[in-house]
Amino acid sequence: MAELRYNPILRDWTMVASNRQARPDMPSGQCPFCPGSSKVPAVYDVFAYDNDFPVLSPHPDNPQPPSSSLYRSRHAYGKCEIVLYSSDHHASLSSLSVEHLGRVVELWTDRYRALTADERHQYVFIFENRGREVGATIQHPHGQIYAYPFLPVKIRTELESCQHHHDVTGHCLLCDIVCAELAEGTRVIAENEDFVAFIPYFTDFPYGVWISPKVHKPNLDALTEMEKHHFAHILHLVTAGMDALFDREFPYMMAQHPTPPHMPRAECYYHYHVEFYPPLRSADKIKFLSSSETGAGAAANPAAVEQTAAQMREAILRVQTREGGQS
């Protein structure tokens, strides 16, 4: 049973899906994403398919009637997909070649284009949960895509802030942030011709890297072939640098933020970017969310990002030295 329940306090929807309790928890049993599992092709490079335990569906169940007139429910219409980065169970974004990552980016773009064709999909969200620390249950390298029938509150807040900044200044707020970070330089950890990776001045995670195009781009589908290659390159450097930071598999949540597909005006004031939420604050310490952060939404960072950015730059330099300046 899956349905959407409206939260009148936050003006947001909660996705309720009891079927997700049956999700597999590796390593018990065979990995469903490995060739030979019957879930995926016998041979594949990158591959996308419908999530077996979706919270959103093109054919949703009828929601239960609310228990009070205060409440609202609606069909959990949408789509949930799995994106497999490789057939190699032990691979990761950080270990894949830039060429292979380019095929991942191309698959993301193809799925984004297909899912945004449905006008009922108000937001298409590409993401990855990596590591037990963030609740990932299957090690096999993969991400997910959710096509929501609503605008989630965080995205809505970002859009409202960006629209206000544009109304006041005539500029894209994300473009201005990129320019400010490039000009300051202290928090920039990697860049190439078309993309820059930095830890924002205001982030609440010690290693909360953002990746952004250097020029205004609303979504993946707006990238040229060369820009996609440079995106794959910087994605490799950032994720490999994370693993090199503490010489261990680095857990993270990765979230891609495109412009909503059916808000054409927003394309002038909102800017595609990728946000990482890594829970580590040191090699063996987790940054847990406190009551203040969870209950009040009051962000707190236990480290100065100018220092953690320097650590990330050094880790990425070690990766580049090891790989001979791969580009």
pLDDT tens for residues 75-132? 999 999 999 999 999 999 999 999 999 999 999 999 999 999 999 999 999 999 999 9
- Weakest mean pLDDT among 22-36, 120-134, 216-230, 287-301: 22-36
3-state helix, strand, coil in the chain (%, to 5): 35, 20, 45
Cα–Cα dist 46/74, whole Å: 34
Q: What is the pLDDT of residues 162-180, one digit of tens each?
A: 999 999 999 999 999 999 9
Cα–Cα dist 262/118, whole Å: 10
Q: Is-contact 197 292, C-beta < 8 A?
A: no
Choose, from 142, 166, 229, 233, the residue flagged as catalytic.
Answer: 142
Q: Per the confidence metrics, is the pTM higher than 0.85?
A: yes
Concerning whether 142 is annotated as a catalytic residue, the answer is yes
Domains of the chain in sequence order: 2-323 (3.30.428.10)
Quick one: which of 78, 75, 79, 80 has its CA closest to 6? 75
Token pair belonging to 146 = 């959710």
Cite the DSSP H helix spans in 62-119. 98-116
pLDDT for the residue numbered 28: 59
